[in-house]
Amino acid sequence: MKLNSLLATATLVGLATVSTTSIPLLHGSNGLQPAQAQTMMMPAMDATGLTSTQKIENLTQHKGKFGSGDELRRYFFGDLEPISVQPGGAGMVVNLYNKANNVTFAYCSTYDVVVAVKQGKVTTFAPDEVK
């Protein structure tokens, strides 16, 4: 009989411990530690450690330079939608739209460079911008 009462006591103590740890979740607390809450309020960064604004600024600085095409693919992999093709660069330029940031990039695949960057959905860049 003592073994049964000992097991019952241990079970009740275990249940009480588990139930007290989940009470903050029931009272509306999100259960986040202060460091986690602070991280959630910071601008979204990815594996590169850059925000979207910093990525766009980097591409704007490096447009027309070797490596800017790689940079474009690394920063916006899978997030670019081709919206038009126009003459420019070394033949034709593809205009790629990033919906999340509302930015259009003109990309020359012959030299693998970004030749123009503009806010909004731009279907045709001015000819002097994409030469």
Tell me: the pLDDT tens digits for 78-125?
A: 999 999 999 987 889 999 999 999 999 999 999 999 999 999 999 999
Q: Check whether 36 has a pLDDT greater than 80.
A: no
Proportion of the chain above pLDDT 70, given as a percent: 66
Within 10 A of 116 (CB to CB), how many other CB atoms are there? 23
C-alpha triplet 35, 40, 41: angle, nearest 5°: 100
Proportion of the chain above pLDDT 90, given as a percent: 56
Band the pLDDT of 47: cuts 50, 70, 90: confident
Phi, psi at 107, each rounded to 5°? -120, 125
Mean pLDDT of the chain: 81
- Residue 8's pLDDT is 62
CA atoms of 53 and 99, how far apart (whole Å) = 14
Q: Check whether 3 has a pLDDT greater than 90.
A: no
CA atoms of 101 and 36, how far apart (whole Å) = 25
Domain ranges for the chain: 2-41, 52-119
